[in-house]
Amino acid sequence: MMKKKKIACLHAHYSNIQYIQNALTSAELELVHFVDPGLMSRITSDKNFDEGQAKNKVIEQIEWISQANVEAILITCTNYIALLKENRLHTSIPIIKIDEPFFSSVCSITEPQVLLFTNPATVAGTMSRLNEFASIQDKPIHIEARVIENTFELIMQGKNEQYVEELSKYIKGILASEKNKKISVAQLSMVESAVKVEQELNVKIGNPLDSLIIHFESLLLN
Give, in order, the Cα–Cα distances in Å from 200 to each of 148, 162, 163, 193, 196.
20, 17, 17, 11, 6
Query: Are 83 and 54 spatial neighbours (Cβ–Cβ below 8 Å)?
Result: yes
Q: What is the mean pLDDT of residues 131-155?
A: 92
Antiparallel, parallel or unpaired: β 5-11 and 29-35: parallel
pTM of the predicted protein model = 0.84
pLDDT tier at 118, thresholds 50, 70, 90: very high
Residue 40, pLDDT score: 74
Taking phi first (over 0 means left), then psi (-120 to 50 degrees means alpha), and beta for anything else, what does residue 200 get? Answer: alpha
Tens of pLDDT, residue by residue over 154-210, are: 988 889 999 999 999 999 999 999 888 899 999 988 999 999 999 999 999 999 999
Average pLDDT of the chain, as a whole number: 88
**Which amino acid, one-letter code, is at 1?**
M
Cβ(78)–Cβ(186) below 8 Å: yes
**For residue range 82-98, what is the model confidence (pLDDT) as tens digits?**
888 776 778 888 899 99
Spatial contact of 81 and 116, defined as CB atoms under 8 Å apart = no
pLDDT band, very low/low/confident/very high, at 26 (cuts 50, 70, 90):
confident
Residue 219 pLDDT exceeds 80: no
pLDDT band at 1 (very low <50, low <70, confident <90, very high): low
Q: How many residues does the chain have?
A: 222
Res 2: pLDDT: 59
Q: pLDDT by residue (tens digit) across 104-117?
A: 999 999 889 999 99
State how far the Cα of 185 lies from the Cα of 148, in Å rounded to an integer.
11
Top pLDDT among 144 and 16 is at 144
- 38-48 pLDDT, tens digit per residue, is 777 777 777 77
Structure confidence by residue, pLDDT tens digits, 198-207? 999 999 999 9
pLDDT (mean) for 17-39: 86
Residues with Cβ within 8 Å of 138's Cβ and at least 6 positions away in sequence, in order, are: none
Q: What percent of the chain has pLDDT over 90?
A: 45
Q: CA 116 to CA 104: how far, in whole Å?
A: 17
pLDDT band at 14 (very low <50, low <70, confident <90, very high): confident
